[in-house]
Structure 1
Amino acid sequence: MKIAKSVVLATALISVSAFAKDALIEKAKQAGLQPIPQEVSKLFKLIDNPKNPITKAKVELGKKLYFDPRLSRSGLISCNTCHNLSTGGDDNVPVATGHKWRHNPHHLNSPTVYNAVFNQKQFWDGRSPDLEDQATGPIQADVEMNMPKDLAVKVVKSIPEYKEAFAKVYPGEEITIKTIGKAIGAFERTLVTPSRYDDYLGGDEKALTEVEKEGLKTFIEVGCASCHNGVGLGGGMAPFPAIGKYKYANIGDFKGDKNGMVKVPTLRNILETAPYFHNGATYNIKEAIEIMAETQLGKKLTKKQIDSIATFFKALTGKKPYVRLPMLPNSTPSTPKPDLN
């Protein structure tokens, strides 16, 4: 009889434990949290752009352009300079630094390119609708790559291998700054990083540790998921600051778009993408959590709550896609020369 009771009790405990775990997954989904799809077909549907369908050839061309410093006036800066795929998809410095070592005039920080495909808008002020359009901005910006669009096109057209590749992937289209952006955007759309967090939301209850699950629960209950949601755990637009004052508002002069809205940064790989905030104000993730709660939620979190959320963030570090460094085609006598001035 005692043995039977023990079996029943053990079974009940297992059932309660399973229900509790399932309940947290359901709670996360009800809060608007969504995993990166595990099925390739579903993921492809999510990241593809019908106006610029992803193909292997486009991705390969876009990868070369992404790493090609000849798209900058100095011949030294590539997209990968500020969005380094080896260091979390950003540059890990407070302010974006470009041509002639100049800093962004608004003291804006370079956001990660990993999982940027899940953003609803691109750039901190959300002025760009997609990755294809966004890719053309830094090339032309005078404090970034400082490359006039006509000069960028001239560089690409001067290199036979690039001309042949464009003719293949965009037949009948003239090489312009827009088609250059389309190719780079196609490559960037593949830079997604599924993590243990996604496995958990997908039903693998052992993918997260118990303390990480507690952190996820805290994350949801204090209100972080009100902005950091969706597949990207961010990527939409929100007022900033929303309720309280921002501790580091004196760094730079960025105020968001005309309505004071700022793009919500993704939390994926957050422990690899310091410093934090649009102006790169702090490298301390716990301070960032504390400030966000006060500024956006009007809440003073306890040390336990902050530590718990920071622990959950460990589960957001994802598996990076393998990107083999491309061998770039040679310049020709007609390729514009670097200009360091």
Structure 2
Amino acid sequence: MKKFVLTSTLVLFSAVSLFGMTDSSLLEKAKNSGLKAIPKSELEILKLVDDPNNPITAKKVELGKKLYFEPRLSKSGLISCNTCHNLAMGGVDGVSAAIGHKWTANPHHLNSPTVYNSVLNKVQFWNGRSPHLEDQAQGPIQAGPEMAAPSKLVVNRVTSMKGYVDEFKDTYGDNVKIDFKLIADTIAVFERTLITPSRYDDFMNGNLSSLSKEEKKGLNLFIDKGCIGCHNDIGLGGTMQPFATAAKYKFANLGDFKGDKNRMVKTPTLRNIEETAPYFHNGGVWSLKEAVKVMGSTQLGLKISDNDAKEIVTFLKSLTGEKPKITYPILPIATKTTPKPDMN
């Protein structure tokens, strides 16, 4: 009897967090605050990330992966999608401003956002100008400071290689027309699969023991401080929001980006945030703890203490998820008709 009472007491204690709230109450609070989980079911995940206009198939994913890692889609033949959105580094490049063609830094000093979980964004690009990944994929390939490849050059490169032509036919049918849009659409199918469920999702799906007491305390603080005002839903970001509403962003002069026509900026996802420094649209902050404090002052009008920032960061690290296992592809062989690299 004594052993049973002791065990029951420990179980009861473990269900109550350090801040006096039961785990189930915290879960309910999180859901009521607009936070949602990546589903557990593979079928439900497919429904979440698929596009009926460009449905996911295994063959499209494999072809899209090759194109994602293909440097010959760039004018120089050196830069691939993975250059700025490195899947081995949290889906980013780890520098403040993206570096592109002819070693050119982004002229607006814009930071490369992560490609992981980008399918969960409501819009793409920092100014939200693309509604989905298929449209977004066309932009960087053609942009002068990025991959700098005209669409005609991209199509000529791809269709000059028998390996790609055969794989497009195998994927889309013998009568497929390989144009620039189809190439970008295929890359987007691969990108749609790059989601990273985490222990946070396990908690939100009902596994109350998946987060530590410290992480739960940080989650509670994250909600109470008002961070969920912008970082909510499944993506914990990805919508257009006003920036620096309560105070001036101290790195506002780093680059000239001011947002969209209404001065709205896409809120970055917090998933895998510990892997995606530097932070903000212009990569002005390298410390996650400092980023939390900056957000408190600029967005919420709050002075977040070092201790509170530390606790929130503890929660944020629980958003680091499991990455899809990706084997680096062997790319098709160029032919004598493949347009040569152009460094100019």
TM-score by length of 1: 0.96
Write the deviation string for residues 294-335 of structure 1: whole angstroms up to 9, x where unpaired. 111111112221111011111011111000000000011110
Q: Which residue of 2 aligns with 1:273?
A: 276
Q: Which residue of 1 aligns with 2:225?
A: 222
Larger mean CA deviation between 112-121 and 5-14 belongs to 5-14
Deviation of the 1:168 alpha carbon = 3.0
Distance 1:158 1:217, change over 3 A: same
Secondary structure of 1:84's match?
Answer: coil
Q: Which residue of 2 aligns with 1:149?
A: 151
Amino acid at match of 2:68: Y
Q: Which residue of 1 aligns with 2:162?
A: 160
Deviation of the 1:161 alpha carbon = 1.7
Distance in 2 (CA, whole Å) between partners of 1:114 and 1:147 is: 24
1:194-213, aligned counterparts within 5 Å? 194-213=197-216
Deviation of the 1:97 alpha carbon = 0.4
Write the deviation string for residues 90-130 of structure 1: whole angstroms up to 9, x where unpaired. 00100000000001110000000000010000000000111
Distance 1:3 1:317, change over 3 A: closer
Q: What is the CA RMSD across the aligned residues, in angstroms?
A: 1.9
Deviation of the 1:221 alpha carbon = 0.4
Q: Which residue of 2 aligns with 1:191?
A: 194
Write the deviation string for residues 248-298 of structure 1: whole angstroms up to 9, x where unpaired. 101000001000111000000000000000000011111111111111111
For the pair 1:124 / 2:123, whether they are aligned, the reply is no
Deviation of the 1:3 alpha carbon = 5.9
Segments of 5+ residues of structure 1 without an aligned counterpart are none
Q: Which residue of 2 aligns with 1:321?
A: 324
Deviation of the 1:174 alpha carbon = 2.0
Distance in 2 (CA, whole Å) between partners of 1:260 and 1:126 is: 11
TM-score by length of 2: 0.95
Distance 1:333 1:267, change over 3 A: same
Secondary structure of 1:17's match?
Answer: coil
Secondary structure of 1:46's match?
Answer: helix
Match of 1:90 among 85, 89, 92: 92
Q: Which residue of 1 aligns with 2:50?
A: 48
Q: Which residue of 1 aligns with 2:75?
A: 73
Distance in 1 (CA, whole Å) between partners of 2:11 and 2:328 is: 54
Distance in 2 (CA, whole Å) between partners of 1:4 and 1:156 is: 70
Amino acid at match of 1:17: V
Distance in 1 (CA, whole Å) between partners of 2:299 and 2:7 is: 47
Secondary structure of 1:275's match?
Answer: coil
Distance in 1 (CA, whole Å) between partners of 2:45 and 2:217 is: 28
Secondary structure of 2:207's match?
Answer: coil
1:240-279, aligned counterparts within 5 Å? 240-279=243-282
Secondary structure of 1:233's match?
Answer: coil
Q: Percent identity?
A: 56
Deviation of the 1:194 alpha carbon = 0.7
For the pair 1:111 / 2:110, whether they are aligned, the reply is no
Q: Which residue of 1 aligns with 2:178?
A: 175
Distance in 2 (CA, whole Å) between partners of 1:7 and 1:92 is: 50
Q: Which residue of 2 aligns with 1:291?
A: 294
Match of 1:29 among 23, 28, 31: 31
